[in-house]
């Protein structure tokens, strides 16, 4: 029996083109156990493939007969070819991280075959330091990035001695049933016509108010972003850059400025993008705007599939020279966005998500995105992960680098995943529109050092300095 896709889920399928594959992914870096036998990698490959029955959402295959995916739905594939979904690769010696990221760049650029369930896993051996990688990608229409991370991480062991089935094994449904007494499934009530119309009306009023704010205000909405070199048509080739930062280090900066961890991440991105664009003499007059995804999925809904995300628009303060003043502008912008979401009902959040994504969908389908004014400049996403060490069939997980998606007109995506005492940054970009994207990693470090070394000023003084910075930059 076919389960029809929700509007937002089918949108990801409709937006997909050869240049814009709509899958999310991640590179998980593991340590080979010290006492591992010579056959460890072959044994790992066999274990990943040894699945009698596949769990949801990994067993869902797309079925559609009409154009534009108007009747698209999921059916259960009961004859999954694991040889197709689990693939083996090896790096040439010495197996540097540079070659690993180049391989993931190529793999992430390739669209998936819709005749199969829309996910793939690559076991990558030969990484220097006695390590191996697991690169997994899954279509955004099947599950959003937050849910994908929760599923994969919740099915890792808490110790090297834990022996569990592979993450896509249907045995996990029984394991989770025993843990909770039953598989939780939270079904939200559907709004009636009156409630739907009221939600749409409220959201429309709020968006109209936001649209009236000055372009140089820190309070942002869609279509408040300046044009940049990052907002052109994209080509199929991708570049993936990844690096880890100490979570304790970022928390110390957050405490210093009475900010949140996410504020600091956004400030790092703002500082890095400012210097990146200055390097090409293309920094726009107005500050860049980040589209920041926000999960509205409860912890017990991870296996439900589909998408449960909204997004807010936040300034990145790229026209502000002072790192502390830039952070203050980001705080003001983010706090305002949080307050707007907090005042919305779940139905209003759904309406807000649809109304702010429909222009993006229309732009991608019509071919106008990358040729008309953009809704935002870059996506910056922060996904929480486990604080405890995790293991895959005895191998210790060292880092988890997310690899998200980009579209026409939006050539860069920065996604952050926390794990243990680290924040793992994954930057995916169009190879042509965002050249030498690996420079972003050095610039992120520079932006963090600026915040660490700056002297904290009283709020009033910081606001005055920010205003002076903007005025001088515009002169």
Q: What angle do CA 372, 288, 346 make, to 5 degrees?
A: 85
The one catalytic residue among 85, 140, 286, 352: 140
CA separation for the pair 223, 363 (Å, rounded): 13
**In angstroms, how far apart are the furthest CA atoms of the chain?**
67
Query: Distance (Å, rounded) from C-alpha 326 to C-alpha 315?
Result: 9
Residue 140 designated active-site:
yes
| DSSP assignments along 255-273, one per residue | HHTT--HHHHHHHHHHHHH
> How far is Cα 74 from Cα 450, in angstroms, rounded to an integer?
49
Could you tell me the CA-to-CA distances from 162 to 175, 183, 345, 396 in Å, in that order? 13, 22, 42, 11
Contact 1, 75 (CB under 8 A): yes
**CB distance 262 to 290 below 8 Å:** no
How many Å apart are CA 232 and CA 435, to the nearest integer? Answer: 13
CB 266 within 8 A of CB 290: yes
Sheet holding 60-63, edge to edge: 3-4, 73-76, 60-63
List of E strands, 282-420: 289-295, 309-315, 378-383, 391-392, 395-403, 412-419
Give the active site residues: 140
């Amino acid at each position: 029996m076919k389960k029809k896709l929700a509007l937002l889920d089918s949108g990801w399928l409709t937006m997909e083109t050869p240049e814009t594959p709509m899958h999310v992914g991640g590179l998980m870096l593991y340590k080979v156990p010290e006492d591992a036998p010579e056959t460890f990698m072959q044994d790992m490959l066999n274990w990943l493939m040894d699945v009698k029955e596949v769990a949801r959402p990994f067993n869902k295959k797309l079925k559609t007969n009409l154009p534009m995916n108007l009747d698209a739905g999921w059916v259960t594939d009961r004859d999954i070819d694991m040889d197709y979904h689990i693939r083996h690769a090896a790096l040439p010696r010495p197996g540097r991280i540079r070659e690993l990221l180049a391989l993931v760049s190529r793999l992430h650029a390739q669209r998936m075959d819709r005749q199969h369930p829309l996910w793939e896993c690559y076991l990558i051996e030969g990484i220097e330091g006695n390590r191996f990688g697991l690169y997994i990608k899954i279509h955004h229409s099947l599950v959003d990035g937050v849910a994908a991370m929760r599923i994969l991480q919740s099915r890792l062991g808490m110790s090297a001695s834990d022996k569990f089935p592979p993450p896509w094994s249907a045995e996990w449904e029984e394991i989770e049933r025993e843990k909770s007494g039953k598989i939780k499934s939270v079904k939200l009530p559907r709004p009636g016509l009156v409630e739907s119309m009221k939600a749409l009306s409220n959201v429309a009023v709020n968006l109209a108010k936001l649209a009236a704010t000055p372009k140089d205000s820190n309070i942002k909405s869609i279509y408040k972003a300046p044009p940049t070199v990052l907002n052109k048509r994209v080509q199929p080739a991708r570049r993936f850059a990844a690096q880890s930062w100490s979570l304790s280090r970022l928390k110390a900066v957050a405490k210093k400025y009475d900010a949140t961890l996410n504020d600091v991440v956004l400030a790092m991105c703002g500082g890095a993008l400012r210097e990146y664009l200055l390097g090409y003499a293309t920094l726009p007059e107005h500050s860049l705007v980040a589209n920041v995804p926000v999960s509205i999925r409860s912890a017990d809904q991870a296996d439900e599939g589909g998408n449960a995300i909204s997004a807010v628009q936040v300034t990145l303060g790229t026209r502000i020279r002072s790192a502390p003043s830039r952070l203050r502008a980001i705080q003001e912008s983010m706090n305002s966005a949080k307050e707007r979401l907090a005042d919305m009902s779940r139905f209003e959040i759904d309406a807000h998500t649809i109304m702010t994504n429909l222009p993006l969908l229309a732009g991608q389908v019509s071919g106008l995105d990358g040729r008309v004014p953009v809704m935002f400049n870059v996506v910056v996403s922060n996904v929480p992960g486990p604080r405890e060490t995790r293991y895959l069939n005895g191998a210790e997980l060292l880092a988890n680098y997310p690899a998200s998606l980009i579209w026409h007109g939006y050539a860069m995506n920065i996604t952050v995943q926390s794990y243990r005492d680290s924040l793992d940054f994954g930057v995916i970009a169009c190879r042509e529109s965002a050249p030498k994207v690996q420079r972003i990693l050095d610039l992120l470090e520079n932006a963090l050092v600026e915040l660490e070394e700056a002297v904290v000023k009283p709020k009033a003084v910081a606001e005055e300095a920010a205003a002076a910075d903007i005025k001088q930059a515009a002169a």
